Structure 1
Amino acid sequence: MAYEDLIRETALADDRLIVMTAENRALIRNLPAVLGPRFIDTGITEQTLIGAAAGLALRGRIPVVHALATFLTLRAFEFIRTDVGIGQLPVKISSFVPGFLSDGNGPTHQAIEDVALMRGIPGMTVFAPADEADMLGMLPQIWASPSPAYVRINTRPGTYQHAPFEMGKAEVVATGTDATILVYGMLFEQALIARELLEAQGKSVGLVNMRTLKPVDEAALLQVVRAGGLVVTLEDHFQTGGLYSILAEVLLKNELTAKVLPIALNEKWYKPGLLSEVLEYEGFTGQHIARRIAEKLGADPAAITTKTEVVENQFAE
């Protein structure tokens, strides 16, 4: 099943669901013929899209809106905050090509502050699936929730068999005593590779797929910190306001500290390129991640052997 299949089945089973877009039909191009007037394209008008969605939500509908992540969270931020957030309306925001998935576009199309912006809105829930299967397992619960929701859409295929999704709960893939990688979104794939490389060097490495960034699984974070070892936050987002900041907030709230290695974009835009090129150039491949962790642990990063990492451009059409 693909994203379009899931939303079609859900909409056909529940006539409250309205599919909306701001002229971004990549995920939903076959739905107008199926849904008729319950498919609305406002054109390249993200602010109008959110305003109209809020109006429909006030009338008992469940709008699922689609547009590029950067334009939804930046151009339409006031409308999300004011029309959706203040009213606590069940508008579901499907943000296309967030973070490194903007693939080939420049800084104007890079949504790398979206998590910080969306989690700052009271009542907004924020989700970042690891891959397509993870996302499809999340969406039915997200769409059924009465809360507004922001979802970093991720249609990349994955091979990991995920545990069933539970709202507000992280997925603990593995526990470790030397280090634990906390990750969300498409970098989960690279975290798996990094963990394998480090384990091959005799390191005990845990891995947690955060899934829900708001509400965050505080218990999972505290368990990792209290277990000891290096805590690694890995994200295709600015270091400020994302997972690194979330962890810091949880630690301060609980009067704890930890040895933390943030792997994120720190006060910089990333250089445009195809996804594989971006990961290599910016140091976010599994091998780069493993070497940075090894160095922080006092081991020889050069001992991390090369592993083939295939990252294709899924959006070329």
Structure 2
Amino acid sequence: MTYEELLTQTALADDNLVVMTAENRALVRNLPGILGKRFIDTGITEQTMIGAAAGLALRGRVPVVHALAAFLTMRAFEFVRTDVGIANLPVKLSGFIPGFLSDANGPTHQAIEDISIMRGIPNLTVFAPADEDDLLKMLPAIWDAPQPAYTRINTRKTTHEHAPFEWGKAEVISIGSDVTILTYGLMFEQALVTVEMLKNEGLSVGLINMRSLKPVDEQVILQAVALSNMVVTLEDHFVTGGLYTIVAEVLLKHRATANVLPVALEEKWFRPALLNEVLNYEGFTGKQIAEKILGYQTLGNQPEIKINEFAE
């Protein structure tokens, strides 16, 4: 099943669901002919789309709105905050090409602060599926919930089969005593590579797919801190306001401390290129992440270790 097929199936089963787009039909091309008047394209007007979605939600509809993540979260921010967040309306925001998925696009089209600004809006929930399988398992609950939601849409395929989604719960892939990687979205792919490399170096490695960034699974973060010598937050987002900040907030709330290594973008937008080139240039391939972890001084205070070259 694809994103469009799931959305079609859901819309046909629920007359209150309305699909909207700001001239971004990449994943919903076939829906106008299927849904008729329940498919609304406002043109390149993200603010108008959100205002209209709020109006429809006030009348009992559940709008699923689509736009590029950068424009949905930034250009329409005030409308999301004021029309949707304050009113606590069930508008479902689907943000396309978030983070590194915008690969060849420049800074104006890069959504690498979206988690930070969206989770700051009261009532708005925030989700980041690891891949297409994860996306399809998460969306039914997200669409069915009474709260507004922002979802980083990720339709990339991986070989991992995810567990059923539980609201506000992370997915524990493995538990490790040396290091635990907390991640979400696209970076889950690279985390799988990193885990195997670290295991080959003799480390006990945990991997957690966060899935939900608001509400966040505080217990899984505290468990990772309690069981592992160090925790790594891995994300295609600015280091400020994303998962690294979330972990810091959770630790402070529970009066806990930990060795935490953030792997995130440091105060700069990434250089546009094809996705694999972006990951390599910015230092986010599985191998590069593994080397950063092995070189981190608090992991046994050991010197930097280079992993032997081999294909990922």
Q: What are the equivalent positions in structure 2 for 1:83-232 lying under 5 Å apart? A: 83-232=83-232
Look up the SS of the partner of 2:290 in the other structure: helix
Structure 2 equivalent of residue 313 of structure 1: none
In structure 2, list runs of 5 or more residues that go unmatched: none
What number of residue pairs does the alignment pair up?
309
Relative to the length of structure 2, the TM-score reads: 0.98
Counterpart residue type for residue 137 of structure 2: G
1:1-317 alignment, distance < 5 Å: 1-296=1-296, 297=299, 298-299=301-302, 301-309=304-312
Deviation per residue, 1:256-289 (Å, 9 max, x gap): 1100100001111111111101000000000000
RMSD in angstroms over aligned alpha carbons?
Answer: 0.9
- Aligned-partner residue type, residue 273 of structure 1: A
SS for the counterpart of 1:185 is: coil
Contact residue 69 and residue 97 of structure 1 kept, 8 A: yes
Give the letter for the 1:89 counterpart. L
Q: For the residues of structure 2 that align with 1:303 and 1:201, how far apart are their CA atoms?
A: 10
Per-residue CA deviations over 1:83-142 (Å, capped at 9, x if unaligned) read: 000000000000000000002000000000000000000111000000000000000000
Alpha-carbon distance, 1:300 to partner: 5.7
Residue segments in structure 1 that go unaligned for 5+ positions in a row: 310-317
Identical aligned residues as a percent: 68
Runs (4+) of structure 1 moved beyond 6 Å?
none
- Please tell me the residue identity of whatever aligns with 1:305: N
TM-superposed deviation, 1:302: 4.6
Task: State TM-score, norm by structure 1.
Answer: 0.96
Deviation at 1:3, TM superposition (A): 0.3
Q: Could you say what secondary structure the match of 2:249 adopts?
A: helix
- Report the residue type matching 2:96 in the other structure: F
CA distance in 1 between counterparts of 2:309 and 2:171 reads 27
Q: For 1:209 and 1:290, locate their aligned partners in 2 and report how far apart those are by CA, in whole Å.
A: 17
CA deviations 1:238-268 (Å, max 9, x no partner) are: 0000000000000000011100100001111
Paired amino acid for 1:169: K
| SS of match in other structure, 1:142 | helix
Deviations 1:177-210 (A, max 9, x none): 1100000001001001001001001011100000
